[in-house]
């Protein structure tokens, strides 16, 4: 029986090796360190998790036998330039981080509506001081990027009585969205939102798509939440919008640059709250990712189309 050689980092092999091998008895898992030091192997699959791009290039240059690269990340913008001219398939983990990311968005939305930041200051100062809080029912959430993560956010927002408007390039309708607009109608969509969530992949088309004109299209009471990629929002324009009151607040799990240097002025911009790209963290994420990879591995072995295959020409 021909071996099915899969390169992965040692942490994945140690924790999930038995689960991956259970897909087929011919599977052999090869740690990255061993792959780099051996010439007698012919791996067909690479699981890309915590592998720097320069090391990834080294592995791909050495093994022309690799036909499929699976990324544990949903965003693959850094992989496109490396893979787009190679004869292989790229899949990603789009949608698999949707549960924790959606909860982060709802947590920040509730925190803003209920003025948690002000209430916490009163608590720290031992002040019995009330604040005028708001409700989410009846408010409009605009989600730019209506893929798997966007749908997870929309489902939760609907449970809170919010109207949900989506923006996607195709304009194709989707469950949990009350209205879906095309990217050409971005400004019109932004003007509807009490809460605007950026959940679109980073591509050449979406890089810098939220700039001064887009921020000015939002209501002065609107809140921006970015859980996608920092480069989608123009940082200088955002700081200006917050400082001059074009929008009410911004909750950012991603920034440009990232990591954000300690002395960067975005930290001290009024009405901004920043977390260190943690919205997707969950104790259950690794299990979800491996389970999805194993299901896709079965499809690959049976010659079936892979799920979450990335269009290398479009970047997502």
Residues serving a catalytic function are: 229, 258, 277
Q: How far are the Cα atoms of 142, 218, 258 from residue 241, in angstroms, in the given order? A: 18, 10, 20
Token pair listed for 149: 């993560």
Numbers of helices and strands, H then E, in the chain? 11, 12
Size of the chain, expressed as the number of residues it contains: 316
CA-to-CA distance for 41 and 230, rounded, in angstroms? 39
E strand spans, the chain = 4-8, 27-31, 45-48, 68-71, 89-91, 140-144, 163-167, 179-181, 195-198, 223-226, 249-252, 272-274
Sign of CA dihedral 18, 74, 180, 171: negative
Q: Which of 189, 184, 239, 231 is nearest to 210 (CA)?
A: 231
- Let me know if 159 is exposed, middle or buried by CB neighbors in 10 A (0-12, 13-18, 19+): exposed
Q: Are residues 232 and 207 in contact, defined by beta-carbon separation less than 8 angstroms?
A: yes
Tell me the sheet residues that pair with 26: none
CA-to-CA distance for 316 and 312, rounded, in angstroms? 7
Residue with tokens 């088309």: 205
């Amino acid at each position: 029986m021909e071996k099915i050689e899969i390169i992965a980092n040692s942490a994945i092999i140690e924790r999930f090796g038995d689960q991956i091998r259970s897909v087929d008895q011919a599977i052999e898992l090869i740690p990255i360190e061993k792959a780099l030091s051996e010439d007698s192997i012919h791996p067909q699959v690479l699981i890309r998790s915590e592998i720097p791009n320069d090391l990834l290039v080294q592995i791909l240059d050495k093994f022309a036998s690799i036909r499929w690269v699976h990324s544990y990340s949903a965003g693959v913008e850094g992989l496109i330039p490396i893979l787009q001219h190679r004869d292989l398939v790229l899949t990603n983990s789009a949608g698999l981080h949707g549960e924790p990311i959606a909860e982060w968005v709802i947590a920040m939305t509730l925190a803003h509506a209920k003025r948690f930041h002000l209430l916490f200051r009163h608590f720290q100062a031992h002040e019995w001081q009330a604040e005028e809080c708001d409700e989410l029912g009846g408010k409009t959430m605009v989600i730019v990027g209506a893929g798997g993560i966007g749908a997870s956010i929309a489902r939760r927002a609907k449970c809170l009585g919010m109207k949900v408007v989506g923006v996607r390039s195709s304009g194709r309708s989707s469950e949990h969205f009350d209205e879906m607009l095309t990217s050409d109608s971005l400004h019109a969509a932004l003007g509807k939102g009490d809460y605007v969530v950026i959940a679109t992949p980073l591509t050449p088309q979406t890089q810098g798509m939220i700039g001064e004109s887009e921020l000015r299209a939002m209501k002065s009471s609107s809140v921006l939440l970015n859980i996608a990629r920092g480069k989608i929002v123009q940082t200088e324009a955002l700081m200006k919008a917050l400082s001059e009151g074009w929008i009410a607040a911004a909750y950012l799990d991603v920034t440009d640059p990232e990591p954000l240097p300690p002395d960067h002025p975005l930290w001290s911009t009024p009405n901004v709250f920043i977390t260190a790209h943690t919205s997707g963290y969950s104790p259950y994420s690794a299990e979800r990712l491996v389970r999805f990879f194993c299901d896709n591995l079965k499809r690959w072995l049976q010659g079936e189309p892979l799920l979450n295959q990335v269009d290398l020409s479009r970047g997502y």
